[in-house]
Amino acid sequence: MLTTARLLVPAFVIALLAGCGEPSSSDLPDEDVVPKATVARGGLLYDKFWKASAAGEPTETHPLWEKRTDTTSNDRTGSTTWRCKECHGWDYKGVDGAYAQGSHRTGFGGVLGTKLSAAELTESIAETHGYRAAGLSDTEIESLVLFMQEGLVDTAASIDDEGAFKGDAKRGKRLYNKGLGGSKSCSTCHGVDGLRRPDTAPKDYDEWVGKIAQKNPWEFLHKVRFGHPGSVMPSAVGAKVPMKDIVDVAAFSQTLPKSR
Ligand code: HEC
Ligand code: HEC
């Protein structure tokens, strides 16, 4: 019995590899070692690149920061000014969206509907914006380009003018407790009421599901679609989850308490 089992395992593995049509040559890079560019990775980098990359956290303020047309509303300095979202917004609309007012206003425009070609996007992100010098790899820049081309959505299709998600909260409750796209459920990590601190989160964590969903639905949508950089939070886009499922979960999340 034992001998048969030992012979069967390698035979099965070889059959599997052959079945996938993958070259068996051992000098090909392992996909886990050389990650491919993906929209999902681009979305994470858009949020806070140094938590989703080997590139370190910037120490200086972003070189384009001094070009903001409103220099008084947003007086942040340092690494925060490198987050794409700080200039272009969680809704990708910059000064034409949620950052039209408030402490995040810079006056910079959005990226939604950009007409730039892949080559122009690469040049803009890598060179004009300085992300290559900041340490992002070719694959990471390519992921950001893919995110600009395929990952941006007009959040107005999912969120109304009052900030409410246009979803079915009842259906969303079921999905919240079941999980999206075969991932663990939201409730496993965040609790059925959204007030559980995820295991890896800091002790003073207070970014509760209900709080983010109500306070900043655009950020919420981005986090559920792409995950939270540097954490185990799954990406719905990575798992090819339909937008309707995401918006239904979001609508339910807005019914959860904002604080303990
Ligand atoms: C410090 C603010 C700032 C940050 C951070 C920033 N950008 Fe920009 N971005 C700008 C400015 C300013 C422009 C306009 C540049 C110009 O054309 O004059 C711009 C333009 C763009 C455009 C071109 C939009 C168009 O079609 O006109 C894209 C695409 C873009 N940014 C993507 C990104 C990405 C991706 C990131 C993060 C990796 C990022 N930006 C981070 C300031 C910023
Ligand atoms: C495997 C565990 C896990 C699952 C499943 C999960 N999350 Fe998360 N989530 C996390 C972690 C970890 C963080 C980051 C916490 C931190 O800030 O350190 C996070 C962050 C978030 C944030 C951003 C809040 C913040 O920390 O800034 C939101 C919103 C969120 N999750 C909602 C959801 C929703 C909705 C679902 C289900 C669709 C879900 N999460 C599924 C683990 C998970």
Instruction: Say yes or no: CB of residue 65 within 6 Å of ligand 1.
Output: yes
Average pLDDT, the chain: 91
Instruction: Say yes or no: CB of residue 241 within 6 Å of ligand 1.
Output: no
**CA-to-CA distance for 221 and 64, rounded, in angstroms?**
27
Is 1's pLDDT higher than 50? no
Give the per-residue pLDDT at 35. 80
Q: Are 109 and 115 in contact (CB under 8 A)?
A: no
Minimum-distance ligand 1 atom for the alpha carbon of 110: 24
Sequence-distant (6+) residues with CB within 8 A of 142 are: 37, 122
Is 113's pLDDT higher than 90? yes
For residue 55, the ligand closest to its alpha carbon is: 1
Q: What is the pLDDT of residues 13-44, one digit of tens each?
A: 444 444 444 444 445 555 556 789 999 999 99
End-to-end CA distance of the chain: 57
Give the per-residue pLDDT at 33. 64
Residue from 174, 180, 193 nearest 233 by CA: 180
pLDDT category of residue 66 using cuts at 50, 70 and 90? very high
Residue from 58, 146, 162, 70 nearest 109 by CA: 70
